[in-house]
Amino acid sequence: MITIALPDQHMHDRLTAQLPEVNLIVWGANDGPPPQQVDLAVLGYLGSACELAAYEGMDVRALQSQSLGYDGVSDQLPTAITYCNAVGVHEASTAELAVGMIISEQRGFPEHFANQQTGTWNQHEQPGVAGTTIVIVGAGGVGNQIADALAIFEANVVRVARTNRSDARGAIQSMDALPALLAKADVVALAVPLTEATTGLVDAEFLAAMKPGALLVNVSRGKVVHTDALVAAASAGQVRAALDVTDPEPLPRDHPLRSTRGITITPHIGGYTSAMHGRVDAVVREQARRLLAGEPLAHVVIEAR
């Protein structure tokens, strides 16, 4: 029998009847050494990569994240442990938030909400989404779902990734084409993983290349955007921004991002919806099936060494 450690009693209660052939325990590294060898330990959702070091020397074969991103993991993960990310859990919800942000900003919801508080009735034209050009930087699960959703609103969607290629959705432009695309884009949505290549991707030069008044939406990682450069560009009226992620994070109460006109912030809630629980459970069930069948784990980001 295999042993899977779960981070809380709620997940244990949900999965007990679904995995009768698995020994399920509630355990994490903060509880001290596990009571027995753990074949797979599911991490808590809002944990930090720096917490992975606590698993050093623990009798754990693999860790299953509840998150899609894995920045910083390779620096902290003990070498004897395999790490898997949560593919298929948060893509739809994160895309949902990105599209909601785009619609909200393009239809002037922040302004209308402020006017509601003051009793102001102010009708004027807004840019909207239909007929606009929206550049999505990132053609993975989140980026593709953003593209699919925006197609319904008759936007001109252009996807950009590392290489120029095509897939079932059509053409994908390479990063080399980005500067020219920025000048035409009404909205630029960021849906890339945080890597050495994407850290600081949106800098002063990037923002200056954007169409005046264009909207930047970030649902990837805060460090993809150079914060000071964004504050300067938004303060000058060059761009607007809707951010689910920031650098730093959590964002201090008095940080300039909070008070800069034209910037809307949500507190990194892209995938944090009730939909995630059933999807995480499905990931754990599939990993259990693989372990019982002697098959490799799915969505391995880093192999044990």
Q: Give dist(CA 2, CA 23) in Å, integer.
A: 6
Catalytic residue of the set 159, 221, 226, 240: 221
User: How many Å apart are CA 62 and CA 40, to the nearest integer?
Assistant: 5
Give the active site residue among 165, 169, 205, 249. Answer: 249
Distance, in Å, from the CA atom of 99 to the CA atom of 112, rounded to the nearest integer, reads 18
Q: Active-site residue among 226, 268, 279, 299? A: 268
The 3 state secondary structure assigned to the chain is CCEEEECCHHHHHHHHCCCCCCEEEECCHHHCCCCCCECEEECCCCCCHHHHHHHCCCCECEEECCCCCCCCHHHHCCCCCEEECCCCCCHHHHHHHHHHHHHHHHCCHHHHHHHHHHCCCCCCCCCCCCCCEEEEECCCHHHHHHHHHHHCCCCEEEEEECCCEEECCEEEEEHHHHHHHHCCCCEEEECCCCCCCCCCCECHHHHHHCCCCEEEEECCCHHHECHHHHHHHHHCCCEEEEECCCCCCCCCCCCHHHHCCCEEECCCCCCCCCHHHHHHHHHHHHHHHHHHHCCCCCCEEECCC
Site of tokens 């007990």: 16
What is the pairing mode between strands 3-6 and 82-84?
unpaired
14 is catalytic: no
Q: Active-site residue 249, yes or no?
A: yes
Catalytic residue at 226?
A: no
Bridge-based pairing state of the strands 156-161 and 133-137: parallel
Which residues are annotated as catalytic?
A: 221, 249, 268
